[in-house]
Structure 1
Amino acid sequence: MKYFTFIIALSALALASGCDRSNVKEQVKQDNQAAVGGWRVNFLDEFDTFNDENWQDQMIWVNNEDQCYVPNNQHNTREVSNGTLKLRVVDLGEKRPCDNMSKDGKKHHDTQYVAGRIASKNLKEFVKGKWTARLKVENSGQPGMFPAWWLLGALNNEPPVQEADETVCWPMTGSGEIDIFEHHSDGGPDHYAARTIKSLGYCDGGDWQAEMLVQSATLGEYHDYSVEWLGNDLIFRLDEVEVYRVSNDEDQFPEPLFAILNFAKINDSPMTQNWTMEVDWVKHEVWE
């Protein structure tokens, strides 16, 4: 998930509410599918505990983010309690050293903000299917907020590099990106972006705007945010209703992908309220 200029995207917000949700093409395909199979859950985490067979804390510096990711629920940044995961940005009140490193080997600057980021990298990785998370974000729209639920190709070469085949630069095939839910607060509260990153064919060459929807939603309430594959189409859903479809002649994302949940802070604006993304569950399904 890379930083992008969000103001341009907001012009699409009004158009999002006019999306045709009765897409005839999709309905015909789904009717045909329904006759031969259905979705089967092959991964489900309901966050009764923090399961380290499903997730690892990911310490990385990207997008020139202001916060420092910390592991093991330090400073209450990544808490599992009462059946939900809470990822937070926390203001420590004074700047402290941060050991997060960029993919280019640069060390993060000192910062007073710490946050949580978890990934299913090298633990739960799947080719295609359907990914869904049920989540909410408190106090959306505060300056600097950047919570996200997204997917990244399993051959990605960003830290931590744990397997010999993790050599592919973003966003080339093997290191592709799909953003299922991303709230960039510059546009105010109660909206999110869903997108695929269109590869321009070279390292760090990604088009953020070409395949993106900005969608309104009441972020302080739980919603199901999902993406599913239908042939070469990617279908984004909000509470099981299609809100956006990316159609391509070629398969953009043939690789296994892992899931990421994180809460970032993208500028030096002061925090005036608590920042929490609460996740009820995450699942992956396969079509059978």
Structure 2
Amino acid sequence: MKPIKTKLNALENKEWEVDFLDNFENFNTDNWQDQRIWVNNETHCYVPGGAFGTREVSDGSLKLKVVRIGEKVPCDNFDKNGKQHPETRYMAGRIVTKNKKEFIKGKWTAKLKLASNGEASMFPAWWLLGAQNNESPVQEPDENICWPLTGSGEIDIFEHHGDHQKDHFTTGAIKSLGECDKGDWWSLRKGFDVTLNEYHEYSVEWEDSDLVYRVDGKEIYRNVGEGDNYPEKMFAILNFAKITDAPMKGEWVMEVDWVKHEFRK
């Protein structure tokens, strides 16, 4: 056991160094791009450029929103099989660091809050995806691996399922079942209570072979031995989704103070 303890102590003594930080003083296209894609049978349309007020940077924070417009309009989002999203009156924002800021392992953190929570159909998220993912936009030759195989793996740092509970979120990795589009969503995930309308720091870090999840720097959960299943570069995703036809009051807002990635020196 002594060599293992020595290894852990050596890791703990290494300092984190920031290699990516966005404080959202503006929307920096060197860091982010819009992603327009239809997944999970979401009932909204992801729109670019903050159309309909779905993405705003003001007062030093990013606001991603789901908004309800009057009449249903056409949506140019397509699913991975090429099927176009039906007309909808719900518009939403989704941004990614894909082909902008992608990193192998380390630690990803975002400081965020929700303006409201616990409403049916709410599905805001902060998560990671492997950089060789073959879903739109495909911009580089090696983006040819289907979810959730290695190269296109998924780690969910923060997800709030409004249908389930107020002031509650889930975190954890998606376990690949070894085939395209076949993943185990729940065996590596756990739920936690937190005051969602207050800012908190949500992070995941690679610690040897483990994935360690923290809120405000405190460990809340660990996927033991799962870290080695994600050796690839990964990019970050922030989005606010609407996942059922439940009625919606007003607009939904996820506010993000900053996002960063760190590595061990």
Q: TM-score, normalised by structure 1?
A: 0.88
Deviation at 1:94, TM superposition (A): 1.4
CA distance in 2, matches of 1:264, 1:178: 17
Unaligned runs of at least 5 residues, structure 2: none
Counterpart residue type for residue 190 of structure 1: D
Deviations 1:51-98 (A, max 9, x none): 000000000000010000000010110000110000000000211000
1:56-205 alignment runs, 5 A limit: 56-205=33-182
Between the two proteins, what is the percent identity of the paired residues? 59
Q: Does residue 219 of structure 1 match 2:196?
A: yes
SS of match in other structure, 2:220:
strand
> Cα distance 1:203–1:139, how it changes in 2: closer, same or farther (>3 A)?
same
Q: Is 1:139–1:274's contact at 8 Å kept on the other side of the alignment?
A: no
Deviations 1:162-187 (A, max 9, x none): 11100000000000000000001111
SS of match in other structure, 1:268:
coil
Deviation at 1:112, TM superposition (A): 0.1
CA distance in 1, matches of 2:236, 2:72: 30
Q: Is 1:145–1:183's contact at 8 Å kept on the other side of the alignment?
A: yes
CA distance in 1, matches of 2:220, 2:118: 21
SS of match in other structure, 1:221:
coil
Q: Is 1:90–1:115's contact at 8 Å kept on the other side of the alignment?
A: yes
Counterpart residue type for residue 242 of structure 1: E
Q: Specify the alignment match of 2:251 in structure 1.
A: 274
Deviation at 1:272, TM superposition (A): 1.3
CA distance in 2, matches of 1:33, 1:154: 26
Q: Out of 8, 11, 25, which is 1:33 matched to?
A: 11
Q: Is 1:68–1:100's contact at 8 Å kept on the other side of the alignment?
A: yes
CA distance in 1, matches of 2:197, 2:33: 26
CA distance in 2, matches of 1:33, 1:199: 28
Deviation at 1:274, TM superposition (A): 2.4
Q: Out of 13, 29, 42, which is 2:19 matched to?
A: 42
Deviations 1:142-176 (A, max 9, x none): 11000000000000001111111000000000000
- Output the aligned Cα RMSD: 1.5
CA distance in 2, matches of 1:267, 1:27: 48
CA distance in 2, matches of 1:27, 1:191: 35
SS of match in other structure, 2:38:
coil
CA distance in 2, matches of 1:139, 1:27: 44
CA distance in 2, matches of 1:282, 1:199: 26
CA distance in 1, matches of 2:197, 2:226: 37
SS of match in other structure, 1:186:
coil
Q: Does residue 286 of structure 1 match 2:263?
A: yes
Counterpart residue type for residue 186 of structure 1: D
Counterpart residue type for residue 69 of structure 1: Y
CA distance in 2, matches of 1:137, 1:195: 20
Q: Is 2:45–2:85's contact at 8 Å kept on the other side of the alignment?
A: yes
SS of match in other structure, 1:220:
coil
SS of match in other structure, 2:27:
coil
Instruction: Give the paired residue count.
Output: 262
Q: Out of 254, 263, 269, which is 2:231 matched to?
A: 254
Unaligned runs of at least 5 residues, structure 1: 1-25
SS of match in other structure, 1:49:
coil
Q: Is 1:87–1:115's contact at 8 Å kept on the other side of the alignment?
A: yes
CA distance in 2, matches of 1:223, 1:163: 34
Counterpart residue type for residue 262 of structure 2: E
Deviation at 1:219, TM superposition (A): 0.3
Deviation at 1:139, TM superposition (A): 1.2
